Amino acid sequence: MPLTRKAYRAAILHSIADPAIVGIEASYEYFEDGLLVIDNGQISAVGHASDLLPTLAADIEVTHYQDALITPGLIDTHIHLPQTGMVGAYGEQLLDWLNTYTFPCESQFADKAHADEVADIFIKELLRNGTTTALVFGSVHPQSVNSFFEAAEKLDLRMIAGKVMMDRNAPDYLTDTAESGYQESKALIERWHGKGRLHYAVTPRFAPTSTPEQLALAGQLLGEYPDLYMQTHISENKQEVEWVKELFPERKGYLDVYDHYKLLGERSVFAHGVHLCDDECARLAQTGSAVAFCPTSNFFLGSGLFNLPMAEKHKLNVGLGTDVGGGTSFSLLQTLNEAYKVMQLQGARLSPFKSLYLATLGGARALRLEDKIGTLRPGTDADFLVLDYNATPLLSYRLKQANDIAERLFVLMTLGDDRTVLQTYAAGQLVHQR
């Protein structure tokens, strides 16, 4: 195959370590006038334009952006495909919200044509917002995952998804059985896991909607295939936590239910974790599990404030999640805007470089994909964004008053959204142009 080489010149910023571990200054690389070189869908070099331009052959196409910032593609570690049509559903907290809005909305995925239509809208929305990798809940219907992966495969996106397993405490029209959930998941794994840049996640919705038999079979599946993911919800809402105690009185607590059924591990991502205790954070960290921090959802559903400093204390892997449709935006920039407020309400600070880490490398680490995505390091997938400093009149004016990259980054995360994303590239291909 002939080498296809392209280069992109602009300010370039990426996270290279967790600020909580190495300190802020050592956590990022910034090139005021930078160059990103892409060979056949992978990054081959990143650095100062003055150093790299002389190394390029004369005929290499260099795209030069003014007033723009190149960053890695953003990583959403928790989102629901079949809830795209119900973002912003009024009035309820988690358990009533599920029954009133979520389950009826997800039931529409019984129709494959509907699933195809929503998958297309959903992927466009991810890319418009600069999200190049997401860990995605389907509905209980296998076709939700087929529709999603078919659309993701066409664009060669790195995506992870799974069909919901749910065999109790939900309407009959939306439940599988322990056995059918296992068999349907297995068929999807055989079809999709490891195909191109696609990965499968075993997806028990949350402890209250699975019988012990189903949780046991979910754990069994994880043991049957290498590198499978597991995604579920945990300790999002106080009533939910109480309900789990009633349903599983023999277990020490919510996390212990999942632990008992062998659902913890290096590719396990637990959404929310707002009401986790210290011991549970320690156990999650010990097993290499990760938590998806979903601030817009936690505010919208009145769930509570995620304790990021406690997670950091335990060196627990944390990614960022939009949790659409409990969350109110597909934009991880807007999600970081709310994450900052979650910390403010707890008397803590969220540095813009920690925010960048959460939305990129931190997410990649939560998904054990840091050798492939989350940074602009040579040898990784060319999934990157061009952010526009002049996206809106206010952003443009505000950024003119900003003195350094820390301030510019913070303002981008406070005022930025889908309008800020000028272009999105996946595996070196332009997949969104504003």
Instruction: Tell me which residues touch ligand GUN (CB under 6 A).
Output: 80, 94, 98, 102, 205-206, 233, 236, 297, 323, 326
State in angstroms the smallest separation of the CB of 86 from ligand GUN: 10
CB closer to ligand GUN, 295 vs 326: 326
Residue with tokens 């931190």, as numbered in its chain:
362
Positive/negative CA dihedral, 360, 365, 370, 372: negative
Q: Considering CB distances under 5 to 8 angstroms, the limit depending on partner class, which of ligand GUN, Zn ion, none binds residue 205? A: ligand GUN
CA atoms within 13 A on the CB side of 257: 27
203 versus 420: smaller Cβ distance to Zn ion: 203
Q: How many CB atoms lie within 10 A of CB 414?
A: 17
Q: Which residue type sits at 43?
A: I
The site for Zn ion, by CB under 5 A, has a size of 2
- Is residue 236 a contact point for Zn ion (CB under 5 A)? no
The contacts of residue 148 (CB under 8 Å, 6+ apart) are: 81, 115, 119, 122, 123, 136, 138, 159, 161
Tell the smallest beta-carbon distance from residue 273 to Zn ion (Å).
12
Which positions from 257 through 286 interact with Zn ion, judged by CB under 5 A?
Answer: 271
Q: Output 82 or 142, the one with its CB closest to ligand GUN.
A: 82
Which does residue 264 touch among Zn ion, ligand GUN, none (CB within 5 to 8 A, set by kind)? none
Could you give the CA distance from residue 270 to residue 275 in angstroms, rounded to a whole number?
A: 12
Q: Least distance from C-beta 80 to ligand GUN, angstroms?
A: 5
Q: What is the CA radius of gyration of the chain?
A: 21
- Sole binder of Zn ion in the list 106, 280, 323, 417 (CB under 5 A): 323
240 part of the interface to Zn ion, by CB under 5 A: no
Q: Using CB under 5 A, which residues numbered 27 to 56 contact Zn ion?
A: none
Q: How far is the CB of 241 from ligand GUN (least distance, A)?
A: 12
CA 32 to each of CA 98, 238, 242, 406: distance values in angstroms, whole numbers, following the listed order:
47, 46, 51, 12
- Closest Cα partner for 31 from 9, 2, 63, 1? 9
Which burial class, exposed, middle or buried, applies to 74 when counting CB atoms under 10 A from its CB (0-12, 13-18, 19+)? buried
Smallest separation, CB 127 to ligand GUN (Å): 23
Residue number with CB closer to Zn ion (206 or 357): 206
Pairing state between β 74-80 and 131-137 = parallel
Work out how close the CB of 231 gets to ligand GUN at its nearest, in angstroms, rounded to a whole number: 11
Q: Which CB atom, from 328 or from 331, has the smaller least distance to ligand GUN?
A: 328
Q: Which residues bind Zn ion (CB under 5 A)?
A: 271, 323
